[in-house]
Amino acid sequence: SAEVIGASNLSGVRHVVLVLSGKGGVGKSTVATQLALALRQAGKKVGILDVDLCGPSIPRMFRVQDSAVHQCDSGWVPVFVDQEKSISLMSIGFLLEKPDDAVVWRGPKKNALIKQFVTDVAWGDLDFLIVDTPPGTSDEHISTVEALRPYKPLGAILVTTPQEVAVGDVRRELTFCKKTGLRVLGIVENMSGFVCPHCSECTNVFSKGGGEELAKYAGVPFLGSVPLDPQLSQSLEEGRDFIREFPKSSAFPALLHIAQQVSDSASQRSS
């Protein structure tokens, strides 16, 4: 039955982390991608499940948008981004005829697809499965949580930017986590300064510290601030090798630190 397959497809997955944001444009997919790379750098095997049905950007970030998804006995085989098979992806982007096809579906069909994504992908052994979600708290989020919960304890990372507005949006996410019983691993403040490509000095374009204040207010860990590195953003836009360029970026130390905290927090919980 589907239940049995779902259980066996997720049985080799040690930790599941959902990446959430209150609104679009805060760089949630970038953070999910960078977190996966930082975890890999720390020797972990990572899968990314992209349940953002309307704007699947993960395949493009890893330059695998033309990959086809194959079937095996236990479901879909995820797409590997490297020879070592240390990062695997599953995204709606792989299933669309043309990458620009927008997915305009009603709720039930979306929910059915998400359930299928969660249970029908043969992930194999993973230390972390990172789930990149659409902005906000919609049906998709509830479907994702409901589909994963029977199999694994779930943690969530909330991504915000330093401005007040984004912080207000994250409050709603915190309420969502409370209501659905999602454990908040912490808050990441993204784009919390601009790193000059010439002299590498970091300037705060927006007010600083919104994420940290919010974490205090909510009583959840503040995982760190990730600066905006224009060179890294450009490498993404131009489809250059983001994976290779990431360790050289100014965002890298911050993400390595965040990955370490996520690892520690996840392993404390399962011990």
Q: What is the pLDDT of residue 262?
A: 92
Give the fold, CATH level 3, of 2-270.
Rossmann fold (3.40.50)
Q: How far is CA 104 from the centre of its chain?
A: 22
Binding site for [4Fe-4S] cluster: which residues?
A: 196, 199
Binding site: which residues?
A: 22-29, 196, 199
DSSP 171-229: HHHHHHHHHHT-EEEEEEEEEEEEE-TTT--EE-SS-S-HHHHHHHHHT--EEEEEEE-
pTM of the model: 0.86
Q: What is the pLDDT of residue 13?
A: 93
Binding site for ATP: which residues?
A: 22-29
* Contact (Cβ atoms closer than 8 angstroms) between residue 9 and residue 88: no
Task: Kindly give the parts of the chain with pLDDT less than 50.
Answer: none
Distance CA 86, CA 64 (A): 15
Q: What is the pLDDT of residue 109?
A: 79
Q: What is the pLDDT of residue 204?
A: 65
Q: What is the pLDDT of residue 67?
A: 85
* Contact (Cβ atoms closer than 8 angstroms) between residue 57 and residue 135: no
Q: Hey, where are the domains in the chain?
A: 2-270
Q: What is the pLDDT of residue 105?
A: 65
Which amino acid type is present at position 209? G
